[in-house]
Amino acid sequence: MTVESTFTLELERVRDYEFRVRFDWPDAPDLTVDEPPPLGGAAGPNASRLLAAAVANCLSASLLFCLEKSRVPPRSVRSTVTATLLRGDANRLRIGALEVVIDLEGTGEAGARLARCSGLFEEFCVVTASVRQGIPVGVTVRADGEVVHREPAPASE
């Protein structure tokens, strides 16, 4: 692999386990991250939730980009991600799997164009492709309630 680009974010401790994240975009607001009790005060999402959100966001944006390029802009896109936490080696908590469901509404009679995007979009999701190297990720796409794509998470070893 060759380096395409880099980016740098800054985190600064506010108190206890609460941190402020400063992004490298001038107009991006800071983000507060924190651990849930008993360690933190739940002033913001923790790292596990950010990872899950990043995977769901990347998949949703990738699918939306393909649909818009194919002239099938959905009326709405709503995604849900479920993270499964488990105990790994030495009884340490780990993310065991992520399951993403993307619901599209208003795709109409998209047919072949929707099928093409459904079979293609995951390949262009930078975050999911990277996370899948260590965490199983399943993806389901529903268009107007009908399942049009299902990529089950591989079984954990």
Residue 75 shares a structural domain with residue 143: yes
Please indicate, yes or no, if residue 7 is contained in any of the structural domains: yes
**Within this chain, do residues 39 and 52 fall inside the same structural domain, yes or no?**
no
pTM of the model: 0.93
**Residue tagged 């995951």 (tokens):** 122
Question: Is residue 10 domain-shared with residue 83, that is, in the same domain?
Answer: no
pLDDT at res. 156 = 62
Q: Are residues 29 and 89 in the same domain?
A: no
Q: Are residues 39 and 107 in the same domain?
A: no
Tokens of 26: 């001038």
- Domain assignment of residue 121, yes or no: yes
CATH code of the domain in which 69 resides: 3.30.300.20
* CB-based burial label for 124 (10 Å; 0-12, 13-18, 19+): middle
Q: Kindly state whether residues 133 and 65 are assigned to the same domain.
A: yes
As for how many domains the chain has, the answer is: 2
pLDDT of residue 89: 86
Structural domain harbouring 88? 47-151
d(CA 40, CA 35): 4
pLDDT score recorded for residue 111: 80
Say yes or no: 33 and 96 in one domain: no
Run means of pLDDT, 10 residues per run, the chain, 157 residues: 94 98 96 97 98 98 95 94 94 96 89 90 96 97 94 81
Handedness of CA 90, 92, 95, 96 (dihedral sign): positive
